[in-house]
Structure 1
Amino acid sequence: MDLLSALQLRALLNAAIRGFFAARGVLEVETPMLSAAGNTEPNIDSFQTRFSGHVDAGQALRWLRTSPEYPLKRLLAAGIGDCYELGRVFRNGEAGGRHNPEFTMLEWYRVGWDHRQLIDETVELVRTALALVGRSATLQVLSYRDLFLQGLELDPFTAPLEALQQPLRDIRIDADGLGRDDWLDLLMTHRLQPAFPADRLTVVHDWPASQCALARIRDGDPPVAERFELYLGGYELANGYHELNDAGEQRRRFLRDHALRQARGAVLPPLDERLLQALPALPDCAGVAVGVDRLLMAMRGTAQIGDVLAYDFAHA
């Protein structure tokens, strides 16, 4: 695809994003790309680098951010109110048709909102982006449980493991060490997402508590994570939470992540103690991250992330 038109569309989208939030009184901020702590999530690996200056400047070992989430939450805890950041993030080992190790993320937070309120604004933002290229999209909002019941006639919370494995028997999978959540993820990526209509926004909310990440858990039968994901066709565009502000629970989740990483021989990044210290002051809020490159891919109708970048990883 034409390089100039790709760069022009990115500039147009960036301007539209900033206008969207300016009209709503949401503050644009910039936070550090280098941190003393890394991302503990088991399936995300961080780049590392070392500072070569004087030791008094701070810890030498640094981690390139995989998202701006932690420093944004520290700002929220300091009382700055609704905010967003549009910037570059980095994930080691992720490269392919839809992935580049360096990419652009939009992340924002709304104080006093829950994840359901944020769904509406996220849909509005994506529709604003699509309108830039003359596109529109219908909308379906459904729970994680209803998605599985409608698409596979399986209850993801109660179905035995063998029933989750059955729809995947025709694809080659290294099943060693796969747990229940791994099989649910495979059903999402190999069976459910590919069936989403190309011209429809699909929002899936109330995920299993075991997939809570940094979301609150709502008691119920079963308990669910107050989390949502938004897709356009088969593209996952956004991941949002009603944010957890319990520092003790967050530390337990970080340590659980460490145990999973250790089991697979992965690097153990230090916990973000500054975030944990700030969490008790975090106001009730909801936050969401949007993959800007994925959104541009959807706008241009391409399956290759290189078509929306100036230079991909192989040519950087």
Structure 2
Amino acid sequence: MAIDTDAWRPSAPLAHLRLRAELLNRTRAFFAARGVLEVDTPALSCAGATDPHLASFDTVYHGPGPRHGQRLYLHTSPEFPMKRLLAAGSGCIWQLAKVFRDGEAGRRHNPEFSLLEWYRVGFDHRRLMDEVAELVTALLADRRALGEPERLSYAGAFVRHCGFDPHRAGVRTLRAVCRERGIEPPPGMPEDARDPWLDLLLTHLIEPELGRGRLTFVYDYPASQAALARLRPGDPPLGERFELYLEGVELANGFHELGDADEQRARFGAERAARAVAGLADVPADEALLQALAAGLPACAGVALGFDRLLMLAAGAGSLAAVMSFPIDRA
């Protein structure tokens, strides 16, 4: 087996690493000008991600103290400890965190990556979309000319690109559209669950068309796809959640945050049940977060933005490896 003698070198050119530092400095200035506090929270937690679509790295702590022998999880997002800070009265906060997700590697994925996450007290998801657009436009201003941001409802995106209302279509219709468009479901795809088929159509037919030459926000997701968001009553009820796309790349995921501890506990329970059905390892719910919600989370909206993906677009690069110093194959 041949040895790669250059594997010690960074995969990103130094110009891209300098660009990362520049964008981070501008990000700090953006939040400082708005009075948003930069914070730092632990990467290790006694609770992992219950979301069945996420896989946490875990380890066992062997040191002294009450955590000895306990299984700990590397966070997939700094969301839960940041919400504990919000409940403790921090006010508006942000951080750029290293986060970890097992099983994710590829052109737009790395198991360790940088997530820019912030929370705005008194904002709803619509007002936060405005601020996300301001930040991304400011960071890309000298790199990319962008048209006016677009807002498109989840239903509107499916009507435009697939020709049907996703809130009304049954699984039979979704499977039929996949067959007609030549989309092969992955092995083990459940036949009778709507969300996996909606996701399949979204990733294959809709996402590649979003954000062409401008920022596109998709909002009003199905309630079943908004585990951490408030729900708006109606027929059907909708999650007050948005995602941001640019040039077919998903950049950010935002929520009008759920503050009801009992409802959040029920949602964690449903996710753990779904993990059990899927044969995935159980993950304990974050009791500290639930206690913080019970104590009182201020009305707020929050968003997580993939900083490496934004850097990739700013640099005109084709992969995350081109903007990361040492991705997983060189770590």
TM-score using structure 2 length: 0.92
Equivalent residue for 1:171?
183
Q: Distance in 2 between matches of 1:259 and 1:191?
A: 30
Q: Distance in 1 between matches of 2:73 and 2:43?
A: 8
Equivalent residue for 1:265?
279
Equivalent position to 1:32, from 23, 42, 51: 42
* Contact kept in structure 1, 2:62 and 2:69, CA below 8 Å: no
SS in 1 for 2:165: coil
Aligned in 2, Cα 1:315/1:225: closer, same or farther, shift over 3 Å?
same
Amino acid corresponding to residue 184 of structure 2 in structure 1: R
Residue 221 of structure 1 pairs with residue 235 of structure 2? yes
CA shift for structure 1 position 51: 1.5
- Structure 1 segment 1-316 matched on structure 2, within 5 A: 3-56=13-66, 60-169=70-179, 170-173=182-185, 174=187, 176-178=189-191, 179-280=193-294, 281-316=296-331
Q: Distance in 1 between matches of 2:307 and 2:211?
A: 21
SS in 1 for 2:242: strand
Encode CA deviations 1:149-168: one digit per residue, 9 max, x unaligned: 12222000101222222332
CA shift for structure 1 position 264: 1.6
Q: Distance in 2 between matches of 1:126 and 1:90?
A: 23
Q: Distance in 2 between matches of 1:59 and 1:191?
A: 47
Q: CA RMSD in A?
A: 1.5
CA shift for structure 1 position 57: 5.0
CA shift for structure 1 position 269: 1.2
* Contact kept in structure 2, 1:237 and 1:295, CA below 8 Å: yes
Q: Distance in 2 between matches of 1:129 and 1:108?
A: 16
SS in 1 for 2:66: helix
* Contact kept in structure 1, 2:221 and 2:241, CA below 8 Å: yes
Q: Distance in 1 between matches of 2:82 and 2:34?
A: 18
CA shift for structure 1 position 175: 5.8
CA shift for structure 1 position 195: 1.7
CA shift for structure 1 position 171: 2.4
CA shift for structure 1 position 306: 0.4
SS in 1 for 2:215: strand
SS in 1 for 2:184: coil
Q: Which stretches in structure 1 are left out of the alignment for 5+ residues?
A: none
Q: Distance in 2 between matches of 1:300 and 1:217?
A: 37
Amino acid corresponding to residue 293 of structure 2 in structure 1: L
SS in 2 for 1:200: coil
Encode CA deviations 1:77-125: one digit per residue, 9 max, x unaligned: 0011000011100001111111000000000001111000000000111
Encode CA deviations 1:232-267: one digit per residue, 9 max, x unaligned: 021000000000011111011101111111112111
Q: Distance in 1 between matches of 2:267 and 2:160?
A: 31
Single out whichever of 35-44 and 302-311 deviates more from structure 2: 302-311
Q: Which stretches in structure 2 are left out of the alignment for 5+ residues?
A: 1-10
Number of paired residues?
Answer: 316
CA shift for structure 1 position 135: 3.5
Q: Distance in 2 between matches of 1:59 and 1:29?
A: 29
